[in-house]
Amino acid sequence: MIPEVTRTAGGIRDYTADDLGWVENAVCMRDAGVPVEMLIEYVRLFREGNGTLEARANLLKEVREQILEARKKYDTALEKLDYKIGRYEVALKTGELTWE
């Protein structure tokens, strides 16, 4: 999911600021639900160089669309939860739960 990290003579990974940026990006994308396979594909394209700029841009656009779709679902769920919580807050004051 990230490009290969250099190692010390003893075989210990030696992370640079760039490496940590890749890790941060991978964690962020995974937290957003981006499949590992898409991240691996992005890194593969990155390694191939500037000839893959369009493919990488398209992949990122696809990821963005997936995240926007997921956000719509979360927004809908939050609206429903807010409504229900509001009704329960009224019920706690009045002693009666209604859905009006």
Taking only the tens of pLDDT, the chain with its 100 residues reads: 788 899 999 999 999 999 999 999 999 999 998 999 999 999 999 999 999 999 999 999 999 999 999 999 999 999 999 999 999 999 999 999 999 8
Tens digit of each residue's pLDDT (9 = 90 or more) over 72-97 = 999 999 999 999 999 999 999 999 99
DSSP helix/strand/coil, 3? coil
Tell me the one-letter amino acid at 7.
Answer: R
* Closest by CA position to 39, among listed 18, 24, 54: 24
pTM of the model: 0.74
CA dist 30 and 50 (Å) reads 25
pLDDT score, position 100 = 82
pLDDT score, position 88 = 98
pLDDT score, position 76 = 98
Q: What share of the chain is helix, strand, coil (3-state, %, to 5)?
A: 75, 0, 25
The CATH fold of domain 17-94: Multidrug-efflux Transporter Regulator; Chain: A; Domain 2 (1.10.1660)
